[in-house]
Amino acid sequence: MPIAFSIFVENMENKALYIETYGCQMNVNDSEVVAAIMQPEGYRLTERMEDADVIFVNTCSIRENAEQRIWGRLDVFRLEKRRNPALLVGVLGCMAERLKEELLEKGIVDLVAGPDAYRSLPLLVAQAETGQKGINVLLSREETYADISPVRMDKNGVSAFVSIMRGCNNMCSYCVVPYTRGAERSRNPETILHEVRELFDKGYREVTLLGQNVDSYHWSEGTTSMSFAQLMEQVALVDPLLRVRFATSHPKDMSDEVLHTMAKYPNICKHIHLPVQSGSTRILELMNRKYTREMYLERIAKVREILPDCTVSTDVIAGFCTETEQDHHDTLSLMKEVGFDMGFMFQYSERPNTKAARHFKDDVPEQEKNRRLNEIITLHNELSLQNNEQEIGKVREVLVEGVSKRSAEELFGRTSQNKVVVFPKNNYKVGDYVNVKIERCSSATLMGAPQI
Ligand code: SAH
Ligand code: SF4
Ligand code: F3S
């Protein structure tokens, strides 16, 4: 699901920037980097689009409906511009990279900046102020924004995203990311550790290390080098009270070393996001995922062996090119075999210029894709309910993230296993670790009472 939220920055001349973010966690962190780049230019934060002098929309191209949603937002910004003709609108992120001129042709867009071009935003804005449209969609082999301290946009001050790498070299045949975000590059570990320490000192108690494929994190300088497992260990050592999460792992690259490091440190959360995409080896090959059904199940067996208390979440695509009923059933049977705790499930959406778009026919009818997706979702809900029921009676340590949406008298947070828990507030506050005895559950949430 796209995440949308906003920030607001204003400067000495009382100029204000409003940012809307769509897409993945990495985009959320990128918007924080963008806010940090704009801040020295004198901008300050608020949340009202109506007050904005500049609107940035940080976009996603992963599926067609993600792009449709952005076109819809541009219509809203057009109305805003009618009210305030001096307003500038900038399109950032993956869709900016993919559609460049098409976006600029849309009268209301004043500037377009791709994911590696954010340092040039002050210049592009200045240019747009003079009435010239600004564009920078150059992809870089080096840019990691390593030296930039993101302006945090999370509302709770407890958990933060830290990007450890950018881009992707994997070329899954359905995916636009390698085209919109360019080649994979890892960020200097010193800058990562510095950022994590700063976050901890400010009161943050959880960091999520982000990359499209964290297992291929690799840094080398002179004679020293660092793998993902080593980096994760360094981050875990910052403080035992700091929880460490990471996403996304790739089944073809997730090493035993990573699993052993997770087992060694109680503050590394016992949850792995391991997208499977399909349970059919034939489809996985067409997707260019570079693992088979059996290899995926072998990785799961290793997780169970080394980390018996670890949850696994996944991504599934329904109705990829040539997918048969049998392939679909292979996906359902794999889901049952693994028993995923959480999942993101999508209908295949053909993306222009990807390998799948160029070489395969998008031949599963819409209605059929929809039916298969619904079967996947129904099964997933059953499986996650079963898993959650196993939690009843256990005592779990919960890091409090906020007040429950349903009641001001309840707090919510997550277990190390990434399950959301709701419980009575008592005297606890955001950022506390609370031992909660699980009493009830739904397929999405656990409910319980603090253990005194
Ligand atoms: N780097 C991660 C996630 C990338 S995008 C990984 O390799 O798994 C997040 C998810 O979006 C993917 O895991 C995939 O399930 C889904 N996705 C990507 N492209 C898609 C497409 N063209 N149609 C439908 N879902 C897609
Ligand atoms: Fe896309 Fe595959 Fe890279 Fe994930 S690993 S971002 S699905 S190309
Ligand atoms: Fe979307 Fe780009 Fe992330 S396409 S999922 S915003 S990497």
Answer yes or no: is pLDDT of 440 > 70: yes
Give me the pLDDT at residue 3, please. 53
Answer yes or no: is pLDDT of 46 > 80: no
Atom of ligand 1 nearest to the CA of 315: 15
Give me the pLDDT at residue 13, please. 62
Distance 242 CA to ligand 3 centre (A): 27
Q: Which two tokens stand for residue 402?
A: 């906020």
Closest to 168 in 3D by CA, of 230, 211, 128, 124 = 211
CB 179 less than 6 A from any atom of ligand 1: no
Q: Is the dihedral of CA 159, 165, 167, 170 positive or negative?
A: negative
Four-CA torsion 219, 222, 223, 229, nearest 10 degrees: -10
pLDDT band for position 6 (cuts 50, 70, 90): low
Residues in contact with ligand 3 by the CB-under-6-Å rule are 23-24, 26-27, 60-62, 93-94, 176-177, 180-181
Could you count the other beta carbons within 10 Å of the beta carbon of residue 74? 18
Give me the pLDDT at residue 7, please. 54
Give me the pLDDT at residue 107, please. 80
CB 26 less than 6 A from any atom of ligand 2: no
Answer yes or no: is pLDDT of 301 > 90: yes
pLDDT, average across residues 248-261: 98
Q: How far apart are CA 315 and CA 250, in angstroms?
A: 11
**Going by CATH, does the domain composed of 159-389 fall within 3.80.30.20?**
yes
Q: What are phi and psi for residue 139, nearest 5 degrees?
A: -90, 150
Sheet holding 342-347, edge to edge: 271-273, 311-318, 342-347
Distance 326 CA to ligand 2 centre (A): 25
pLDDT, tens digit (0-9, with 9 covering 90-100), for 318-338: 999 999 999 999 999 999 999
- Which part of the chain has CATH 2.40.50.140? 395-450
Atom of ligand 3 nearest to the CA of 212: 7
Atom of ligand 1 nearest to the CA of 213: 1
pLDDT, tens digit (0-9, with 9 covering 90-100), for 116-142: 999 999 999 999 999 999 999 999 999
pLDDT, average across residues 48-68: 96
Give me the pLDDT at residue 2, please. 46
pLDDT, tens digit (0-9, with 9 covering 90-100), for 193-226: 999 999 999 999 999 999 999 999 999 999 889 9
- Which part of the chain has CATH 3.40.50.12160? 5-136
Is residue 195 within 8 A of residue 231, CB to CB? The reply is: no
Q: Report the chain's mean pLDDT, rounded to a whole number.
A: 95
Is residue 4 within 8 A of residue 49, CB to CB? The reply is: no
**Going by CATH, does the domain composed of 395-450 fall within 3.40.718.10?**
no
Answer yes or no: is pLDDT of 12 > 70: no
Give me the pLDDT at residue 153, please. 85
Q: Which two tokens stand for residue 143?
A: 């840019």
CB 177 less than 6 A from any atom of ligand 2: yes
pLDDT, tens digit (0-9, with 9 covering 90-100), for 79-94: 999 999 999 999 999 9
Give me the pLDDT at residue 292, please. 98
pLDDT, average across residues 9-31: 84
Task: Say which residue, 269 or 7, is predicted with more confidence.
Answer: 269
Total number of residues shown for the chain: 452
pLDDT band for position 15 (cuts 50, 70, 90): confident
Distance 24 CA to ligand 1 centre (A): 10
pLDDT, tens digit (0-9, with 9 covering 90-100), for 166-193: 999 999 999 999 999 999 999 999 999 9
Give the containing element (helix H, strand E) for 402.
strand 395-403
Percent of the chain at pLDDT above 70?
A: 96
Question: What's the one-letter identity of residue 113?
Answer: A
Q: How far apart are CA 138 and CA 31, in angstroms?
A: 18
The residue whose CA is least distant from atom 15 of ligand 1 is 315
For ligand 1, mutation pick of 180, 346, 358 (most atoms within 8 Å of CB): 346
For ligand 3, mutation pick of 31, 94, 99 (most atoms within 8 Å of CB): 94
Give me the pLDDT at residue 158, please. 97
pLDDT band for position 1 (cuts 50, 70, 90): very low
**Cβ within 8 Å of residue 321, ≥6 positions away:** 286, 348, 356, 360, 361, 362, 363, 364
CB 448 less than 6 A from any atom of ligand 1: no
| Chain centroid, CA 310 distance in Å | 20
Q: Angle at which helices 189-201 and 228-236 pack, to 10 degrees?
A: 20
**Going by CATH, does the domain composed of 5-136 fall within 3.90.190.10?**
no
| Chain centroid, CA 134 distance in Å | 28
- Which part of the chain has CATH 3.80.30.20? 159-389
pLDDT band for position 452 (cuts 50, 70, 90): confident
Q: What angle do CA 380, 384, 389 make, to 5 degrees?
A: 150
Q: How far apart are CA 81 and CA 7, in angstroms?
A: 19
Atom of ligand 3 nearest to the CA of 66: 1
Give me the pLDDT at residue 101, please. 87
Q: ω into residue 378 within 30 of 0, thus cis?
A: no
Atom of ligand 1 nearest to the CA of 316: 15
pLDDT, tens digit (0-9, with 9 covering 90-100), for 99-113: 998 999 888 999 999
Answer yes or no: is pLDDT of 284 > 60: yes
For ligand 3, mutation pick of 19, 20, 22, 26 (most atoms within 8 Å of CB): 26
CB 210 less than 6 A from any atom of ligand 2: no
Q: Model pTM?
A: 0.95
E strands present in 60-145: 88-93, 111-113, 134-136
Q: How far apart are CA 211 and CA 382, in angstroms?
A: 30
